[in-house]
Amino acid sequence: MGEFNLENFDQNRDSFILYVMWVISTFLILVVFLNLLIAIISDIFDKIHENIQNNLIKELVYFMVESEVLINRRKLFKKHKYIIIVSRERGKSTPVDAETRLQIIKNSMENQVSIQNNHLNEIYKRLEKDCREKIQNKAETLDISVTKKMNGLTKL
Amino acid sequence: MGKGLNRYEISAIEFDWLFNEKHGRNFIVELTKVKSLEIFSIDLIIKIILYLWGFYRRAIVIRVMIPFMIYFGVFLFYALWIHFEKAGEENDDGGWHAANLVLIIIIAIFIVYNIYFEIMKIYYYRDQYFVSYWNAINVISTSFNTFVIIADLADLDESVIIPFLSIALLLMHLRVLYFGRLFFSTAWMVRMISSVTKDMRYFLFIFIYVVVAFADAYLIINRNGDPPIFEDNFFDAFIYSYQ
């Protein structure tokens, strides 16, 4: 493709039509169709690449069906009953969209705010309790001293 | 948690029918019929497939891949070197003739092994066997290889053997691609080649139609040329249009 042979064009009686035809065919076949071909291949590549894991598993399944004749299930899986999977524990992640992510952040913030509020409430309650105790002690002391003074005045 | 210790998850899948000859086979056959790719993202399905794949992979490597690679190597050796040295040797009892005969015997053994497998597959898959293009490549390649060695043994003219040998070698190379599906890093690429070929059929039809349209036009207008641009036949016109 792309190897143009225009050698004998001028010797043709209808060289003008020949040239026009050549330009149109070159444009259609080389420019339009080749670009279309590249676009189609890119599209297929994208489709396969975005599901690469699923495509891989699918390919394995096809391969297994084609190779079924190679294995003897009765002999090979004679003592098989379970598939036991041992894997290192890891945090499970699931694909989430932007809205869900925002919701997660919002929940996390609310959680933190609630923890902080509880903490502040505790401090407030402790302070209130301390203050009350101190005021009460002070009041009691004052009360005692006032009573004493009143008693003194009464004696006089 | 102490230093150097890891937590492990242990889970078990109890589908003993998976290993059963009938139900287990039906399960994977049904999976191939599912059009959506979503099913292959289910964790349970992935684990089952990967587990079973281990057994299939071992069987494919031992019973198909290793014998084929030896066969391919011998055929390559025969086609690219020994056969042409033998063709150039004048003495029929010479060393190249002997080496050629040894390679033909080895190739014949592998061809018989291949035919045995293909017959087993035809017996097992019946009409479904002919749906797979990999099977078609295997059958055509085996036929070409058989013809080449028979032609060589029958001492047919070299010019007759050469085109068959060339196609036979090309098909053998294509068969190597089949084993690309065995490895995770190349399996998706082989799938892409088959998908591209499948999805492009309508494009190819339109493309070839346009090339043929211009070929016809060139063929007619070429008759007014002195000298003509190409020989006055459709095949040359098609090649010119394609170029």
pLDDT at residue B65 in the model = 94
User: Which among A37, A52, A61 has CB closest to B188?
Assistant: A52
Classify A86 as helix, strand or coil.
strand
* Residue B80 near residue B166 (C-beta atoms within 8 A): no
Asked whether the beta carbons of residue A8 and residue B134 sit closer than 8 angstroms, the reply is: no
Which residue in chain A is spatially nearest to B57 when comparing CA positions?
A64
Is pLDDT above 60 for B220?
Answer: yes
Tens place of pLDDT per residue across chain A (156 aa): 666 777 777 887 888 888 898 889 888 888 898 899 899 888 888 888 888 888 888 888 888 988 888 888 888 888 787 888 888 776 655 556 777 778 888 888 998 899 999 999 999 999 999 999 999 998 888 888 888 888 888 877
Is pLDDT above 60 for B20?
Answer: yes
Asked whether the beta carbons of residue A44 and residue B20 sit closer than 8 angstroms, the reply is: no
- For residue A105, CA distances in Å to A116, A118, B39, B125, B226 come to 16, 20, 31, 55, 80
pLDDT mean over B10-22:
79
Helices B158-178, B66-77: axis angle to 10 degrees equals 150
Asked whether the beta carbons of residue A66 and residue B217 sit closer than 8 angstroms, the reply is: no
Is pLDDT above 80 for B4?
Answer: no
Taking the Cβ of residue B82 and every Cβ of chain A, the question of whether any pair is shorter than 8 Å is answered with: no
- For residue B237, CA distances in Å to A4, A7, A48, B234 come to 13, 15, 38, 5
- For residue B67, CA distances in Å to A59, A138, B41, B64 come to 23, 100, 34, 6
Backbone angles phi, psi at B216, to 5 degrees: -60, -45
Asked whether the beta carbons of residue B221 and residue A87 sit closer than 8 angstroms, the reply is: no
- Residues B50, B187: Cα–Cα separation, whole Å: 14
Asked whether the beta carbons of residue A33 and residue B210 sit closer than 8 angstroms, the reply is: yes
H-helix segments, B154-180: 158-178
**B-chain residues near A54 (CB < 8 A):** 37-38, 40-41
Task: Give the residues across from B12 on adjacent strands.
Answer: A84
Q: How many CB pairs under 8 A join A and B?
A: 190
Taking the Cβ of residue B43 and every Cβ of chain A, the question of whether any pair is shorter than 8 Å is answered with: no
Tell me how close the Cα of B111 comes to any Cα of chain A, in angstroms: 17
Tokens representing A47? 């489709």
**A-chain residues near B60 (CB < 8 A):** 63, 67, 70
- Residues B235, B230: Cα–Cα separation, whole Å: 10
Which residue in chain A is spatially nearest to B218 when comparing CA positions?
A18
- Residues A54, B42: Cα–Cα separation, whole Å: 9
Is pLDDT above 60 for B1?
Answer: no
pTM exceeds 0.90: no
Classify A145 as helix, strand or coil.
helix
Interface of B with A in 135-164 (CB under 8 A): none
Which residue in chain B is spatially nearest to A88 when comparing CA positions?
B8
Q: Which residue would you say has higher pLDDT here, B184 or A94?
A: B184
Tokens representing A136? 């009460």
In whole numbers, what is the pLDDT of chain B averaged over residues? 88
Mutate to test the interface with B, among A10, A23, A50, A61 (most CBs of B within 10 A): A61
Tell me which H or E stretch contains A122.
Answer: helix A98-155
Asked whether the beta carbons of residue B241 and residue A29 sit closer than 8 angstroms, the reply is: yes
